[in-house]
Amino acid sequence: MKVLEGESLAVPPLWMMRQAGRYLPEYRQTRAQANGFLDLCYTPTLATEVTLQPIRRFGFDAAILFSDILVVPDALGQDVRFEEGRGPVLEPIDPARIGEFAGKDVLGHLAPVLETVERVRQALPAETTLLGFCGAPWTVATYMVAGSGTPDQGPARKLSMGEPEAFDALMDILVEASTRYLVAQLRAGADAVQIFDTWAGVLDEEGFKRWAIEPVRRIVEGVRAEIPGAKVIAFPKGGGARLKAYAEATGADALGLDWSVPLAAARDAVGGLALQGNLDPMRLIVGGAALENGVRQILEAMQGYPHIFNLGHGITPDTPVAHVERFVQLVRGG
């Protein structure tokens, strides 16, 4: 939270995207108690346990709510399920029926998730930040339109260009739902929130402004209208050279960086805005010199700058736990 206020710390705070997940044996044991992935997200006792597991094991400076970005389309009434070995599967939306998603009781559906936020905040050490999150409207829409993840999110790009009015209507619904959801998480006990735009990088310049920047700007503005001073981290993966425009327009307190972004360039682009990232998750898998060199280079590049140490994307299931332990030691000077 100090870094989100613009303070530079001698030892940067540390957490990892997807830190509660399949690389941990205790996570796999807990997940086995649930009737599928969504059931795990919607069972507060289990979701709380999963959220706390990496804090107990590694002592990260932040816990991030265990959930998924696709609980929002699930709450809007779209059929969402998770298949082992395939990932999320949704019923592709009919553009003519997008209006049917409007006016849904999103927070009622997501009440179990908000209960998890309350439980986690009560269980966390006082000094550990609790992060809530949602998916950015563009990234969520790509799954809603295609029905699954695709290599270049072509179905959503096609719809956004071919039927921009219909796509605008979908984005309006997602902006409203996401804003209400983040506000509710903050009121339930989250200290700050992150907006994940995993697929921002597939957009061209016009699309990036219209579908990546503008919806997030509206969400940040809407959240702060309800909770003045609310802290928001935005992660536009693949933003690259467009980070300056993104930072200026959205008003986020910090930007998450993927591993392709040169840190010096990011610092120059966003001035004194806090940055988060950006170790390549592959270095965490490989370990050894690859991990040590990567951590050292980031620490040197971000010395004297407000920085939250993180990965450039989420940790993967094949990451050895011992490498994560070494990662924490390296960041903290061990």
The domain spanning residue 295 has which CATH number? Answer: 3.20.20.210
Task: Describe the strand order of the beta sheet including 232-236 as a list of residue ranges.
Answer: 62-64, 129-135, 192-197, 232-236, 254-256, 274-279, 307-311
CA 163 to chain centroid = 28
Concerning whether 22 is annotated as a catalytic residue, the answer is: yes
Q: Which two tokens stand for residue 14?
A: 């540390």
Q: Look at the chain and count its residues.
A: 334
Could you tell me if 47 and 40 are in contact, meaning their C-beta atoms sit under 8 angstroms apart? Answer: yes
Yes or no: say if 328 and 12 are a contact pair by the CB < 8 Å rule.
no
Dihedral of CA atoms 212, 215, 216, 221 in degrees, nearest 10, equals 160
Segment 282-308 mean pLDDT: 98
Per-residue CA distances from 75 to 173, 177, 178, 303 (Å): 12, 9, 11, 42
Do the beta carbons of residue 252 and residue 290 sit within 8 Å? no
pLDDT the model gives residue 18: 97
Q: From the candidates 27, 143, 181, 246, which is the catalytic residue?
A: 143
Q: What is the pLDDT of residues 67-82, one digit of tens each?
A: 999 999 999 999 999 9
Catalytic residue check, 18: yes
Residue 334 has pLDDT above 90, yes or no: no
Grade residue 214 by pLDDT with cuts at 50, 70 and 90. very high
Which of 39, 57, 68, 305 is the catalytic position? 68
Q: Which residues lie below 8 Å from residue 83, measured CB to CB, with a gap of 6+? A: 89
Active-site residue, selected from the candidate residues 22, 57, 81, 210:
22
Q: What is the pLDDT of residue 85?
A: 77
The structural domain count of the chain equals 1
**Is 42 annotated as catalytic?**
no
Residue 245: band (very low, low, confident or very high) from pLDDT cuts 50, 70, 90? very high
Please give the model's pTM, rounded to 2 decimal places. Answer: 0.97
Averaged pLDDT for residues 160-189: 98
Q: Which residue has the tokens 């609310």?
A: 230
Which structural domain range is residue 143 located in? Answer: 3-331
Catalytic residue check, 56:
no
Beta-bridge partners for 83: 87
Q: Which of 91-100, 202-211, 217-226, 244-253 is predicted least confidently?
A: 91-100
Banded pLDDT at 87 (limits 50, 70, 90)? confident
